[in-house]
Each structure stands twice: as C-alpha cells, then as structure tokens.
Amino acid sequence: MRIVIAGGHGQIALRLERLLAARGYEVAGIIRDPAQGDDLREAGAEPVLCDLESASVEHVAGILQGADAAVFAAGAGPGSGAGRKDTVDRGAAVLFADAAERARVRRFLMVSSMGADPRREGDEVFDAYLRAKGEADEHLRTRLGLEWTVLRPGALIDDAGTGLVRLEAGTGRGPIPRDDVAAVLAELIETPATAGLTLELISGSTPVAVAVKDVAGN
C-alpha cells in the first residue's frame, strides 16, 4: 500500500510517516525544501520535491499515480499571514484533492482544524486560517471520486501521546498530543468505513483503535 502525504515535513506528518513505515507501508512525503529530505528518510518515507502553491493539478496527479491513499497535512504554519493561509491551507488542499481524484486515489484524509468554517467572519489571521480550512473541507466534500474523511483536531500539544482519545462528530474543545493525531490518522487510513465523516478529536479515555471502530460503526 502506497501512501502520499502533503506537508511531509510537518510535525504530524513525520510522526505519521514513522507509524506507517513501521506497519510496512510505502510512504512518500511531499516537501518544498530538499534539505528536509533526510528527516523524511529517517522517518521511513521517500521525500518528493514539489511546491503545492505553484504546481499544476497534472503534476501532482503524477506524483499521486498508483497511490492507495493521500493525506493532506500541509499548512502555512505559525507566523504566516492571511495570504499564505489562502494559498496553502485552502489552495494547496484544493489542488491536492483535485489531483488525488484525477489520479484515481480512493482514500483521502484531510487534516483540518476545529472551528474550520468557510463563513467565518473577522479580519484577524486566525479568522483567515479557519475560513481557509473550512473552504478546503467544503471543496473536498464535492469530490465524488474520493473516499474522504476530515479530521479536526483540538489544540495541538507536544506532550507524549497517551493512545486515549475522544473522536466524534462534535467533541467540544480540548487539547490533543500530535502523537495521538498521527495514531488516529494511521487507523483512519485503514478504516474506509469512515469515509464521508467529519470528525473532531481531543484527548479522552478511549483507545485509538476502538475510537476509530466506533465512529466507523464497527
């Protein structure tokens, strides 16, 4: 099984790459900076150079050709302005979803954000971020060729993962270690019965595998 991750050097992506490689998957991570390649190789992933802000759908579809699943985990990151929230958190996500559909990749996971809303009002950068994420999620839902799942984590923290989460359509706000976000993504990739769901994720009391099976109806 080949899995391609956009934003391959991100904090969640690197964790996910390690998990997937340990499970025996072939993993590729899309990066813009070739200097990040060694970090991906150390995580067990193949680095693929591509700037999703300027690439064409055709080029990205070529990267995705033959993949069994795609994960959008890219982001403009802290310190970026409203313009890059639009070009990365919305534009690159839309491009990646369109390319995945063109390449006939069935399984698609979107790492979104709690509070994402295409109709979010406000002029602050965080408002622009939540609008961009909401617009990307809304676009993904129109991609009928994809078995998509949207994951909206709460406040991301660097504490060690506990493996215990709360994963529901609506959880309310709360923190979640990046370790546990990656663990949930790994389970979601293997659980296509969660296709069509938008899920919120915070720390909780349910083991990751059980939580994913519960939302899948298993």
DSSP 86: I
Choosing from 72, 96, 108, 129, the catalytic residue is: 129
What is the C-alpha to C-alpha distance for residues 108 and 197, in angstroms, rounded to an integer? 11
**What confidence score (pLDDT) does residue 83 get?**
87
CA distance 122 to 115: 13
Task: Give the pLDDT score at 33.
Answer: 96
129 counts as catalytic:
yes
Q: Which residue has the tokens 């938008």?
A: 198
**Which amino acid type is present at position 38?**
D
Q: Are 123 and 169 in contact (CB under 8 A)?
A: no
Alpha-carbon gap, residue 194 to 191, rounded angstroms: 6
Residues with Cβ within 8 Å of 62's Cβ and at least 6 positions away in sequence, in order, are: 103
Task: Enumerate residues 6+ apart whose C-beta is below 8 A from 185.
Answer: 12, 16, 71, 73, 109, 111, 151
pLDDT, tens digit, 9 for 90 and up, residues 130-163: 999 999 999 999 999 999 999 999 999 999 999 9
The parts of the chain modelled with pLDDT lower than 50 are none
* Pair of tokens at residue 58: 């055709």
Residues 26 and 1 sit within 8 Å (Cβ to Cβ): yes
Residue with tokens 């994720």: 201
Reduced to 3 states (helix: H, G, I; strand: E, B; else coil), residue 77 is coil
Residue for token pair 């934003």 = 7
For residues 202, 204, 207, 209, the Cα torsion angle rounded to the nearest 10 degrees is -30
